[in-house]
Structures are given as C-alpha cells and as structure tokens.
Amino acid sequence: EEAVARTAMFAGDHAQARALFDTCANGWSGKGRRCRFYAAFNAVLTGDTADARTRLDAIIAHDAGLRSAARYWRARLLSTEDPESAAADRAWIVAHAPEDDWYGTLVRTGFGAAPIGSGPLLHRGRWPDVAVPPPRPAEATLPGVRPSASPPWFIPARPAPRAEPRTDIPWPAALTADEAQSRAHTLARAWSDRSPDLAAAVAMADHGLRDDAGPLLSRALSELSAHDARAWKEVSPRDRLAVLLHTGCHHDLVRHGPGLTRALGAEPGPHITFPIAHQQTVWAQGKAHDVDPYLALAIMRTESLYDPLAVSYAGARGAMQIMPRTGHLLADRTDDFGFTVAALHDPDLAIAYGVRYLGLLLDRFDGVFPLAVAAYNGGPHNVSAWLDTLGPDMPMDVFVEHIPFGQTRRYVRKVTAVYAAYVDTWGSPGARVMVPPRALGDDPSVVDF
C-alpha cells in the first residue's frame, strides 16, 4: 500500500496519493505514522488548504516524533494566507527541534522564508571561498503560494567564510586539556602490558599525530572490549574520557563521550558531540577537490561515525563507507595501481577517495549539495532518473520528500542537518548553511558510478 502510494506521489497524482496513504495510516507503528504524514503532505501539494491544515494539526497534537515536520509544512502552507501562524510555527521549530533535525535546519537556514537570525557567511557544499552562484530566473512555489518579487532564498554574495575551524570554543567542562593528557599517560602506563596499542596511541598524540592515534586507539579499545571488557569498565569515567579526548579517538568519543561526561556531572560540548575528525586530511582534500570540509565531516559522521574499521552490510568500507567497486574506479582515475579494498580502512586514503568522489558528484550536479549527497548514498544514475521524472524546478524541500528510497531520503536529511550543526558549531560567528532552492544541472560525463 505504501509503495503504491509513493508511486502515485512520484507520478504527480497527489490526490490519489493522499487517498492511498490514508489506507495504510492506521495505528501508531512506524508505517502508520509515516503514511499519516505523507497523506497530509500530499494534501499540501494538492492545494487543499483546509484538509491539509486539519491533518497537520492532528499530527502536531498527537505525534511528538513528527511535530517538527508537520509544523514545517504547515508553515509552508500558511506562509501567504496566515503569515503570523507560519512565523509562529517556524519559531517553535527553532526553539524545539534538535540541532540534527532536517526541518529545523531548513527553517534555521531560511529555506522558503525570510531566515531567522541571518548571518553574513554561507556554506553551500563547496570549499568555503567559492562565490555564490546567481539565482535561477524562475521560482517554483507550492500550490497557492504566490512568487515573491525577490526570492526569499536568494542571498547576495558576502565575504567568504573562514577555511579553518574556530579556536575560541572552550574545552569540555569535565576536563582540562592538561589533565586529559596527564590521565591518558597514567592509564597508558597501567595498561601497557595488556594493550601496547593504547600506549602507542597516547605517545603518537603527544607528538601531534592525533589523526593516526585515534584510529589506533579505536582498534585497541575494540580488542579490550573483546578480551578485557570487565576490567576496562572498571576504569574511572574521567580516565576513559581523558584518553579519548587526548588521542582524538572520534568514533569512540562520540559513542561513549556523552555518557562519560554526564557521569562527571557535566554536559558534553562540541569537542565530543561534533568533533573535528582527521582535520589535516579533511581540510587538505576538501581544498584539493572543492568540497566544504564540514560537509565531508557530516558524511563521515553519518556513514560510519568516523570509524575507519567500519564495514556495512552491503560491503562499504572505512570512514567514508566506499563500496569496493567505487574504490577501484576512483583508483583507476588516479592511476593508483596498488589499490586494494583493504586500503579503504586507511583513514587518509579513505577520506581522500571519499572527498574526491563527493567533489565529482558536486561537479556533476552543479554544486547542489543535497543532490550530490543523495548520489553518494543512492547512486548518481538514480538521482538523474528522479530529476527526469520530477523536473528540475521542484523546490528542494519537496524534492527530498519525493525521493523513493527511504534510506536515501533519510540520509539526505541527516547529512544536511549534521552539516548545518558543524557550521553552526565550528564555523565563523554568523555562518550558516544555504540549502539550494532547487536542482541546476546534471552532467553524467563528469562521473557515472
């Protein structure tokens, strides 16, 4: 039922899609809640304001998990007829939606309406000092929404954002940097017999090699969890957090750092929740391939949680979760004759290949990063097919709801929201992500794998 409803929606028959989604909107299972939301979404697209508002009101009242989504589309529906209510919905989303929420990101970045708290610096997927392209002449709108004389999403070119993370963000409140280093040394000495890799990781971090120390410690912790799990859990939260912070073990820091920090009576800060992982490689490759490093970090976080040893159920490997075939094709482009699939677990190589591939996808889709992100997950040929059916002038927020693959739809939402969170946290004060209003071009000759 849901698949048939999605087919009707994808074909543009929104009235039929609304009726079909109603047939599978029973109960409070994931499927029922999802169908209820998409029935309301299709009511929005039919221009049936009264029915759409009734449906969205009911979701807002009874479904906390979809409240942000329903308020977003109610605001889009009412932006002309009831601008005060629309503004109230957007303000609620800003105040209540999590920082990694797609709809909250759309509102905070000003998509489809005047931005709340505008800033001068823009991140659009490319290396930050690339100029903002001019807007397209036509403005597609939702049914019943009048085009404005000056498109609300257009922001003229401003000074370029900084190309390095901010340095004025305080260290996590639970520890000082000096204390973290001291405790990491003490722990390494105590565990040197059982885990030489732990001691080696701490020593590497002392010499500034944190990009290598983190993955080494991650491997050491995996071995400890397998063989000395009980003893490792008896190590104090302060000592465990210290060694994670000092070595830059980002995968385990994001997994365990928040709990360890709260055990010390503090809240986790950005060094723990949105760490700058593998900075030297990410920044160098980002500049080389015209990719915003914060977008690369968002991809890495969503794909593997920065884990260089990750292997997906489909066989994707490494921190950037590159499929073996994609790795071989990228190796062919760079004359890397010694490439092996195992090399994708080397974070330097994996990040270099992943950022290069992302840069090619941005080139293919004229820098429209949500399409490049969708292609990274679902394949560029599928994104091209969707564009051919839906048309290039569909607003980006509407396009994302139409993506047929549930995994890719969620992936685009997640990566974009994490990208915005990275920019908000580490970018220049006032910097923000600009979600492109719609697709621009599609050149399969750039990359077609």
pTM value?
0.90
- ∠ CA 54-60-62, nearest 5°, is 100
- What is the pLDDT, as a whole number, of residue 87? 93
d(CA 304, CA 324): 16
d(CA 184, CA 191): 11
- What is the pLDDT, as a whole number, of residue 231? 85
- What is the pLDDT, as a whole number, of residue 7? 95
Q: Mean pLDDT of successive 10-residue segments in the chain (449 residues)?
A: 94 95 87 95 95 96 94 93 94 91 90 50 83 46 41 38 78 89 94 91 91 88 84 91 93 94 92 92 94 97 94 93 96 91 94 97 96 97 96 93 96 97 90 91 94
Pairing between β-strand 121-123 and β-strand 431-433 as defined by DSSP bridges: parallel
Catalytic residue among 84, 139, 223, 303: 303
Active site residue 303: yes
- What is the pLDDT, as a whole number, of residue 360? 97
β-sheet bridge partners, residue 322 = 317
- What is the pLDDT, as a whole number, of residue 101? 92
> Which of 416, 417, 295 lies closest to 358 in space, CA to CA?
295
* 318 φ/ψ angles, rounded to the nearest 5 degrees: 85, -175
- What is the pLDDT, as a whole number, of residue 16? 96
- What is the pLDDT, as a whole number, of residue 394? 94
Residues 6+ apart with CB under 8 A from 164: 283
- What is the pLDDT, as a whole number, of residue 11? 94
Q: Enter the DSSP assignment of 147.
A: P
- What is the pLDDT, as a whole number, of residue 211? 83
